[in-house]
Structures are given as structure tokens and as C-alpha cells.
Homo-oligomer: A and B are copies of this chain.
Amino acid sequence: MPTAFRLSAFLPYRLAVLSERVSRRLAVEYERSHDLSVAEWRVLAHLSRCGAVSVRDIHDCVNLEKPRVSRAVSRLESQGLVTKAPVDRDGRLLAISLTPSGRAILDDIVPKAHSVERRLREAVSPEDLATFFSVMERWHAVLDDDPDARPRSRMDVEGLDAPEAPDPATSGLPG
């Protein structure tokens, strides 16, 4: 008998569908009012916690390819939301930090993002939510052991509660 594959019950597919739907709902908050892409939003969000960091550091922390970070940062800079400052100690590095405008936009978006998340969290019990996260973590562990899977980005593997783990190359910068 011919192979029949039930895509709608397939775990990777279901994950992708939900993830995309949630992402698009969230994108409404930063796209509609501030014309930001996903990459730009992630960069801003990361900068809100980590101060002046390099492109490499952002790449390591927010699951974006380095060129994507670079372009996102350039666009944010052209909009006056971040600044790129050379690092005197290392001519290769760039110290990227938020401007007041960037901070103002974050101050507007972050509550909306939290609101979207809160509505999702409130729809399930704390126990179920904990189970959900533990399942996600175990699946990451499965992929960590799979040579055909991509490695996890640094911030995601180093624990979600750790302090910012500053890049030694850029820590101690102004900003």
C-alpha cells in the first residue's frame, strides 16, 4: 500500500505552524507601529539587556545569522535607534548600543510583547506551562546529541536565568 503521511499530526509541522502563527501575531506589535523586522526587534531586545555588544555577540545570543544581524544593525543605525562605535582595544569589534530613540521604541513595544505573552501564559495552568517548557528543553537536548542538528546558540544553552554573561571582548564598554 502507498505511503500516506499525516502532515497535520507531524510534530515538526505542528511546531512550525504554531510558532509562525505566534510570531506573526507578535510582529503586528513591532511591524505595524514601528516598521521593525523580526531581526531588528531581536537586536533591540537583546541590547536592552546587554548594553554595548558586538555583532558577534548578538549573533550568538538571538539565533540570527551574522549577516542578518549586521544588516539589521545597519538599518537600525540609519533609523537612529542604535549606534555603532569602534572599540579602541580591538579594531575588528563594534560596540553596538541603543540610542534614546531606540530605548523609547522599546519602551513602547515591550509592554505589548508582554501582553501577547501574558495572554498565552494565562490560557494554561502553571503546571502545564512548566511541563511545556520542560518538554521543549528535552527536545533541545535530543538535538544537542544529534550530529545532524545545528548547535544551540550560546544564550539558549547557557541557561535562561544566567546574568548577561558579557562578551569579554566588549565588556566594560561605555553604554
A101 interface hit (Cβ, 8 Å): no
Stretch at the interface among A71-79, A103-111, A166-174: A103-111
Please state if A21 and B152 are interface contacts (CB–CB under 8 Å): yes
Rounded to whole angstroms, the CA-CA distance of A139 and B19 in the bound complex is: 10
| Copies in the assembly, this chain | 2
Please state if B138 and A135 are interface contacts (CB–CB under 8 Å): no
Count class of interface residues, chain A: 35 or more
Chain A, range 131-150, C-beta contacts under 8 Å to B: 131-136, 138-143, 146, 148-150
A49 interface hit (Cβ, 8 Å): yes
Interface of A is mostly: helix
A26 interface hit (Cβ, 8 Å): yes
Chain B nearest CB from A120 CB (Å) reads: 5
Please state if B13 and A15 are interface contacts (CB–CB under 8 Å): no
Asked whether A124 and B135 contact (CB < 8 A) given A2-B48, A3-B48, A16-B19, the answer is: yes
Asked whether A142 and B113 contact (CB < 8 A) given A48-B4, A49-B6, A131-B128, the answer is: no
